[in-house]
Amino acid sequence: MKVRVTEVGPRDGLQNESRILATETKVRFVDALSEAGYEEIEVSAFVSPERVPQLQDAEEVFQRIQRRGSTLYSALVPNERGLERALRAKVGKIAVFTAASETFNRKNVNASIAESIERFRPVVSAALEDSIPVRGYVSTAFWCPYEGKIAPERVVEVARELLELGVDEISIGDTIGKAVPSEVMALLDRLLDHVDQDRITMHFHDTYGTAIANVLTSYERGIASFDSSAGGVGGCPFAPGAAGNVATEDLIWALTRTGALLKPDLDRVRAASDLLASALGRPLRSRVREALSGAPSGAKEA
């Protein structure tokens, strides 16, 4: 089965790193990722520079990256002001963002889930009028740091509301990385009754080491689109509940070995991660990266 990979390192990853990278470094990172042949790279977010200083140079990054025709370059957009900036920057796709947990959404964007969906209505309409595809994120889809376990029904409800707005794709996020495969199956069992599996992307974080198990369980249930970040960037490895996305290297390795067909080239993703590790000045969190780091350049798994 073909699997689509959306690289979210430049946005979800870097947004959660304490060290702010130079614009030049981000551009080189995105260009290195482009070389790997992704279907989609989430490049940045058009959000308030005060709230997310890590991504305050979104316009400049979009202006300077080398775009490949076969890759969609997307950005997070929280409101109409953000959409205007994104359209001027000629993004290929936008993403809007809500949660399945009311408390998390209120702490994150100071609005109820219903309010944030209303806020997106004109954003999604305007994007679709411009033929810009739209992703809708549903974060804390399994566990919320404030509310605990989130009922699958709640996720289904939020996903359906986003689809009614017109979004093309729903990204279901295990924001704090606490889901296990049995919970992934329970959620997908409900969700697939209401949402076409081609519209679902799974977005796992690897806080407790279950991300690859969750990816493979989703794949077995027919899900063929995943988010990941090169080197598992994002979050702090020493802060509970805040580890990075599942590493793209680990995702490619495990899915390929399971028989899936993926576009991004593992060695080129590793090269992009090398650049990132130097810039961040710390080791990255990818088992495959560690395992292959002693191997000769270009060595591939049989």
Which residues are at the interface with a second copy (CB under 8 A)? 148, 177-178, 180-182, 206-210, 212-213, 216-217, 237-241, 243, 247, 250, 253-254, 257-259, 286-288, 290-295, 299, 301-302
Quick count: other Cβ atoms within 10 Å of Cβ 230? Answer: 35
Q: How far is the CB of 259 from a second copy (least distance, A)?
A: 7
- Nearer to a second copy (CB atom), residue 2 or residue 194: 2
- Nearer to a second copy (CB atom), residue 92 or residue 181: 181
Q: How far is the CB of 280 from a second copy (least distance, A)?
A: 16
The token pair at 137 is 């994120």
Per annotation, catalytic residue among 22, 151, 236, 261? 236
Q: How far is the CB of 42 from a second copy (least distance, A)?
A: 22
Q: How far is the CB of 64 from a second copy (least distance, A)?
A: 33
What does the alpha-carbon distance between residue 206 and residue 16 come to, in Å, rounded to a whole number?
Answer: 14
Instruction: State residue 265 phi and psi, 5-degree precision.
Output: -85, 125
Q: How far is the CB of 139 from a second copy (least distance, A)?
A: 18
Instruction: State residue 77 phi and psi, 5-degree precision.
Output: -140, 115
- The DSSP bridge pattern shows strands 143-144 and 148-149 to be antiparallel
What does the alpha-carbon distance between residue 76 and residue 51 come to, in Å, rounded to a whole number?
Answer: 14
236 counts as catalytic: yes
Number of H helices, E strands in the chain: 12, 11
Token match 């009028």: residue? 129
- Nearer to a second copy (CB atom), residue 54 or residue 207: 207
What does the alpha-carbon distance between residue 1 and residue 225 come to, in Å, rounded to a whole number?
Answer: 11
Q: How far is the CB of 171 from a second copy (least distance, A)?
A: 21
- Nearer to a second copy (CB atom), residue 131 or residue 238: 238
The beta strand positions in the chain, using DSSP E, are 2-7, 40-45, 72-76, 93-99, 134-139, 143-144, 148-149, 169-174, 200-204, 225-228, 261-262
- Nearer to a second copy (CB atom), residue 37 or residue 181: 181
Mark out the alpha helices in 37-96 (DSSP H runs).
Answer: 58-64, 80-88
b/e string for 210-227 if b means 16 or more Cβ within 10 A? Answer: bbbbbbbbbbebebbbbb
- Nearer to a second copy (CB atom), residue 95 or residue 254: 254
Whole-Å CA distances, 259 to 29, 109, 122, 262: 28, 40, 41, 10
* Residues assigned a catalytic role: 236
